[in-house]
């Protein structure tokens, strides 16, 4: 199966650019994930894949050598890092985080965006509401614990008199603050602050990109443009989670600027576990909506969008262009289909992962027990281009491709 010869090898050299989502972690995590899961998938599917240290300059990455379908392929995978921007956006105080909560909730609720998002998929909306509920619950617990201490101090009032009121108030505040700080230290397991910062980052400019992110995206575009002038056979851009909407705008800019050579490498875009509507449904997301509409019509690239209903953090099978209300007549992209977690994972593995929501959100980058027509390692290190691999693949019948967003303007 894995080593059956291909009719014609299209890709011998590939450049892959992975754009992560809102993630503060060092990109070495993605290298280790690729190494571990690639080896597991190779054993299951009967091909060979190995990693070597990167020898070229530029973004953090690694070199892949693979033998698939009777062909040898070399791929350079690079991570376009914006984790430093993410970390800076997360370095806020506890009061500032609660202020973010109020502003973000107001933006989504008051504009009707939240209600419309729920018409698409409830999973990612629940994920968006989780940090709000968890942070409010933490605040309530902290205040109640402080009140209990305050009430205890008041038992001493017959001896301390009015001083007990002041001591009780100080004790109340001290206990509440200490407990809130303890909750924040435990956020590596609770993810309330992390998710709150994630949604707040998009909502703070009502769907527009912050200036520091725009500057980084321009730098990413320069890096990809350089690869498009190389001897590679295919340049593949992978946008995962919120990295998908960054990739949409980066690629739209490259094409508008005439930086995609007609005789250069094939240009391909793979969006995985996308959460585009969380941004495109906001009132000032003019740039993203314009880029979605523009990219959906271009013949300079192939755009495949893969999600799965089993991923509760993604807008599974929601065509990001159509649901945003900006699908033009004659729209070409994206091809939307499911990775079918429930069929491509064994029953035992699906049972083990089913309630691990954050882990499932990364399953697109991992091995499958029973791979169907989606295999991340064949796409990134196999001998076929993305265009050829899915040339005959129809979109999923259960995709959602009706306009739902209230805000559809592409310019202020």
Count: domains in the chain:
2
- 321 with 270, same domain: the answer is yes
CA 9 centroid distance within chain: 31
Residue at 384 is within a domain: yes
Q: Are residues 249 and 379 in the same domain?
A: yes
The predicted model gives 191-208 an average pLDDT of 91
Average pLDDT, the chain: 92
DSSP state of 238: E
Cβ-based neighbours of 356, under 8 Å, separated by 6 or more:
none
CA–CA separation, 292 and 286 (whole Å): 10
Helices (DSSP H) in 120-210: which residue ranges?
A: 122-154, 157-160, 163-185, 187-190, 192-203
CA distances from 166 to 141, 178, 346 (A): 22, 18, 62
Do 29 and 99 sit in the same domain of this protein?
A: no
- According to DSSP, the β-strands at 266-272 and 234-240 are parallel
Q: Is the pLDDT of residue 316 over 60?
A: yes
- Nearest of 54, 104, 136, 163 to residue 282 by alpha carbon: 104
Q: What is the pLDDT of residue 2?
A: 47
Asked if residue 334 has a cis previous peptide bond (ω within 30° of 0), the answer is yes
Do residues 268 and 378 both lie within one domain? yes
45 and 117 housed in the same domain: no
Q: For 368-383, what is the mean pLDDT?
A: 95
CA distances from 251 to 212, 245, 269, 385 (A): 18, 10, 9, 18
Residue 219 pLDDT exceeds 60: yes
- Are residues 224 and 309 part of one domain? yes
What pLDDT sits at residue 7? 55
Residue 385 is given by DSSP the state -
pLDDT of residue 13: 96
With a cut of 80, say whether residue 6 has pLDDT above it: no
What CA–CA distance (Å, rounded) separates 402 from 317?
12
With CA atoms as reference, report the closest residue to 229 among 211, 207, 209, 254: 254
pLDDT score, position 123: 84
Of 202, 234, 262, which residue sits at a domain end? Answer: 202
Residue 276 · residue 248 · CB < 8 Å:
yes
Instruction: Tell me, yes or no, whether 240 and 132 share the same domain.
Output: no
Give the whole-angstrom CA distance, residue 284 versus residue 174. Answer: 41
User: What DSSP designation does 186 have?
Assistant: T
User: Same domain for 34 and 126?
Assistant: no
Q: What Cα–Cα distance (Å) separates residue 57 from each residue in 61, 64, 71, 78, 226?
A: 9, 16, 27, 10, 12
Confidence of residue 374 (pLDDT cuts 50, 70, 90): very high
Residue 4 has a pLDDT of: 54
Beta strands in 226-296 (DSSP E): 234-240, 266-272
Q: Determine, yes or no, domain membership for 408.
A: no
Handedness of CA 237, 241, 244, 247 (dihedral sign): negative
Classify residue 5: in a domain, yes or no: no
CB–CB of 121/315 below 8 Å?
Answer: yes
Final residue in a domain of this structure, among 149, 176, 202: 202
- Among 176, 202, 228, the domain boundary falls at 202
Average pLDDT for 187-205 = 89
122-131, 193-202, 349-358: segment of lowest average pLDDT? 122-131
Do 214 and 78 share a structural domain?
yes
Q: Give pLDDT, residue 244.
A: 97
* pLDDT(160) > 90: no
Domain-embedded: residue 141 = yes
Q: Does residue 386 carry a pLDDT above 90? A: yes
79-138 pLDDT, tens digit per residue, is 999 999 999 998 889 999 999 999 999 999 999 999 999 998 888 888 888 899 999 999
Q: How far is CA 216 from the centre of its chain?
A: 17
Cα 352 from Cα 213, distance rounded (Å): 37
Q: Is residue 332 part of a domain?
A: yes
Are residues 316 and 236 both part of a single domain? yes
| pLDDT-derived band at 299, boundaries 50, 70, 90 | very high
Confidence of residue 188 (pLDDT cuts 50, 70, 90): confident
Residue 158 has pLDDT above 70, yes or no: yes
At CA 182, angle to CA 181 and CA 186, rounded to 5? 115
The number of beta carbons lying within 10 Å of the beta carbon of residue 406 is 14
Domain ranges, residue 383: 13-84+208-389
- 181 shares its domain with 220: no
Q: Are residues 24 and 168 in the same domain?
A: no
Decide if 74 is inside a domain: yes
Q: Which of 5-14, 46-55, 211-220, 270-279 has the lowest mean pLDDT?
A: 5-14
136-148 b/e with 16+ CB inside 10 Å = b? eebbeebbebbee
Asked if residue 405 is part of any domain, the answer here is no
Distances (CA, A) of 247 to 69, 239, 270: 29, 6, 9
Establish if 410 belongs to a structural domain.
Answer: no
């Amino acid at each position: 199966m894995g080593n059956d010869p291909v009719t014609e090898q299209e890709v011998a050299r590939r450049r892959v650019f992975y754009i992560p989502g809102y993630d503060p972690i060092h990109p070495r995590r993605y290298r280790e994930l690729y190494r571990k899961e690639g080896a597991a998938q190779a054993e299951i599917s009967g091909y060979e894949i190995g990693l070597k240290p990167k020898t070229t300059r530029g973004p953090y990455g690694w070199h892949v050598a693979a033998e698939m379908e009777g062909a040898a392929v070399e791929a350079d995978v690079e991570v376009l890092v914006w984790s430093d921007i993410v970390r800076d956006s997360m370095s806020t105080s506890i009061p500032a985080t609660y202020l973010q909560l109020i502003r973000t909730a107001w933006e989504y609720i008051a504009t009707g965006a939240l209600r419309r998002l729920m018409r698409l998929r409830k999973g990612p909306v629940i994920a968006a509401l989780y940090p709000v509920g968890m942070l409010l619950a933490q605040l309530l617990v902290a205040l109640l614990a402080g009140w209990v201490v305050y009430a205890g101090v008041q038992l001493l009032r017959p001896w301390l008199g009015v001083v007990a009121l002041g001591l009780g108030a100080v004790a109340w505040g001290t206990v509440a603050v200490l407990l809130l700080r303890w909750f924040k230290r435990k956020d590596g397991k609770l993810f309330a602050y992390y998710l709150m910062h994630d949604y707040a980052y998009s909502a703070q400019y009502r769907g527009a990109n912050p200036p520091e992110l725009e500057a980084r995206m321009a730098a990413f575009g320069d890096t990809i443009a350089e690869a498009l002038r190389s001897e590679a056979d295919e340049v593949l851009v992978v946008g995962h989670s919120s990295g998908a909407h960054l990739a949409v705008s980066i690629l739209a800019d490259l094409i508008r600027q005439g930086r995609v050579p007609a005789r250069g490498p094939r240009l391909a875009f793979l969006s995985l576990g996308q959460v585009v509507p969380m941004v495109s449904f906001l009132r000032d997301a003019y740039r993203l909506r314009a880029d979605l509409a523009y990219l959906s019509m271009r013949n300079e690239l192939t755009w495949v969008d893969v999600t799965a209903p089993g991923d509760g953090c993604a807008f599974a099978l929601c065509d990001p262009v159509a649901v945003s209300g900006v699908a033009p007549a004659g729209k070409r992209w994206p091809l939307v289909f499911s990775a079918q977690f429930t069929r491509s994972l064994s029953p035992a593995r699906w049972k083990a992962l089913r309630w691990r929501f954050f882990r499932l959100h990364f399953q697109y980058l991992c091995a499958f027990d029973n791979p169907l027509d989606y295999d991340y390692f064949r796409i990134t290190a196999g001998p076929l281009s993305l265009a050829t691999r899915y040339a005959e693949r129809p979109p999923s019948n259960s995709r959602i491709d009706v306009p739902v967003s209230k805000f559809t303007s592409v310019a202020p």
